[in-house]
Amino acid sequence: MVKMFKYALDLVFRRKLRTFLTSLGILIAVMLMSFILFGMSDLESLIVGQFTQQFKPNELTVGTTDMISLMGGALSAPSKQDVEREEVILNSEAVENIEGIDGVERVYSMLRISGLEMYLEEDEVAYPRGFPMASNIPGDHSLIGGLLEGDDLTLEGSEVYVSDFVSQFYELSNEEILGKKIVLKSSPPSVFSAPSKSNIDKEYELTVVGVTDSGNNALFISLEKGLDIVVDLGGYADKEEYINSVGYSQLLLSTDIDRTTKIEDFIVEELGFSVMSTETLMAFVSTITGGLTIALILFGSISALVASVGIVNTMIMSIYEQTNEIGIIKAIGASNFQVLVIFLIQSALIGLIGGVLGLSITYALMRLSDPFIVDLLVNEGFDVGNFFNFRFDYAIYIALSSIFVGILAGLYPAYKASKLDPVKALRYE
């Protein structure tokens, strides 16, 4: 067997270029499959992990617009219904209605405040990312991400939590930033907003009492302070007027887990708000990654098919070229079975070469591109150490599968070769 293997090896490497070209097909299929195995599963768990970190299965986020479509998932044209729905607002009455639903344990009202620039005291550079978020959600809640520094779990008055990104931005340690002042200044009018008299040169001073692990959610203030700011900024008479005309941005509900789905349905159907739950989010994420995976697997399978046709073609060609040689080895004692094995070894080797080359290239590409992808993801707020997860056990499966594809493609040619009549084969010119 070892001797036959060496002989088959000799046959394969006798035509190096053709062997290489034939194995290219397998190479491409292997690369596609590897990216699916080493990338897609991690992509899904990454996204799911990121969201489950912030959202608990019994929590619902209620808003006025479809948050999934806001996330870039709008796959359909806007409809008038959507516009009508946007007219519902999260005012006091809505909050009361929701609080009254059976199974709702806790409702946190949340305000996203836009139109403000954020500065650290005695620093001229504005922090470039994120809005202040006002709510009475305690500091150890998963949405805030927990306090890295500071022990004040409830915000009062002008107290503020900043995320660790903010302290990094201002080149301070989490400890150093505690007690510093944050100044929110009204933004100069931009192309997106009409200038208004009320929001010119407004400034609000806050004191940092905690540093959160919330990444791009840069700033948390108390709901009261938030309302003060929006009333002042927007020129409203009082908080009531703001809440009843604009409403809260979102509500975070904590519910009885047994009733979460029912509550979600009720709020969507009866009250007309959008609800994001862990469940809908997961479904959304897995639809996207699932679709991508199917597409990639399809491409991978098609290229594996094309590759095996390539192998069949090459092997049949080499039967014609090696007809004489097959005749010779049969005349000197090779059995049909041995000829079959020699040809199968050849096609398996082509598969293996394609597989190993494909895996090596994939490995190199992953190693090279990983830092960039991780950079990109971290910038987008994902908490990742590495994206591609090259697993050697999977690599072995992939290599074995490419050998298998090689053998499968080689079956017919090998059978044909083994059945050659030695007399005719010797005479073949």
Partner 1 sequence: MSDSYIEINNLTRIYKPSSKVSVEALRGVSINLEKGEMISIVGSSGSGKSTLLNILGGLDWEYEGDIIVDGKDIREYDQNYYRRYIIGTIFQTYYLIPTLNVEENILLPLKFGKKMSSKEAEKRLEQLLDEVDLKDRRKHMPKELSGGQAQRVAIARALIDKPKIVLADEPTGNLDSKTGEQILDLLVKLNEKEGTTMIVVTHDMAIADRTERKITLKDGKNV
| Helix (H), strand (E), coil (C) string for the chain | CHHHHHHHHHHHHHCHHHHHHHHHHHHHHHHHHHHHHHHHHHHHHHHHHHHHHHCCCCEEEEECCCHHHHHHHCCCCCCHHHHHHHCCCECHHHHHHHHCCCCEEEEEEEEECCCEEEEECCCCCEECCCCEEEECCCCCCCCCCCEEECCCCCCCCCEEEEEHHHHHHCCCCHHHHCCCEEEEEECCCCCCCCCCHHHCCCEEEEEEEEEECCCCCCEEECHHHHHHHHHHHHCCCCHHHHHHHCCECEEEEEECHHHHHHHHHHHHHHHCCEEEEHHHHHHHHHHHHHHHHHHHHHHHHHHHHHHHHHHHHHHHHHHHHCHHHHHHHHHCCCCHHHHHHHHHHHHHHHHHHHHHHHHHHHHHHHHHHHHHHHHHHHHCCCCCCCCCCCCHHHHHHHHHHHHHHHHHHHHHHHHHHHCCCHHHHHHCC
- Which residue lies nearer to partner 1 by CB, 36 or 329? 329
Nearer to partner 1, 11 or 134 (CB): 11
In the bound state with partner 1, the residue whose beta carbon lies nearer, of 7 and 131, is 7
Nearest-approach distance from CB 319 to partner 1, in angstroms: 16
Cβ nearer to partner 1, comparing 3 with 80: 3
If phi > 0 it is left, if psi is from -120 to 50 it is alpha, else beta; for residue 260 that is alpha
Least gap, CB of 329 to partner 1 (angstroms): 7
Name the minimum Å distance from CB 27 to partner 1: 25
174 closest CA partner among 212, 215, 131: 212
Size of the chain in residues: 429
**Nearer Cβ to partner 1 (166/339):** 339
Minimum distance between the CB of residue 403 and partner 1, rounded to whole angstroms? 22
Residue 278 CA from chain centroid, whole number: 16
Least spacing, CB of residue 356 vs partner 1, in Å: 23
Q: Considering the complex, what minimum distance in angstroms separates the CB of residue 317 from partner 1?
A: 17
Q: By the criterion CB under 8 A, which residues form the site for partner 1?
A: 3-4, 6-7, 10, 14, 324-325, 327-335, 338, 422-423, 426
Smallest distance from partner 1 to CB 374, Å = 49
For partner 1, which is the closer residue by CB, 34 or 323? 323
CB nearer to partner 1: pick between 341 and 359: 341
Closer residue to partner 1 (CB): 2 or 191: 2
Q: For the CB of residue 334, give the shortest distance to partner 1 in the complex, in Å.
A: 4
Nearest CA-CA partner of 411 in 340, 310, 323: 340
Give least dist CB 338 to partner 1, A. Answer: 6
Q: Which is nearer to partner 1, 68 or 328 (CB)?
A: 328
Question: In angstroms, what is the minimal distance from the CB of 382 to partner 1?
Answer: 55
Choice between 327 and 406, CB closer to partner 1: 327
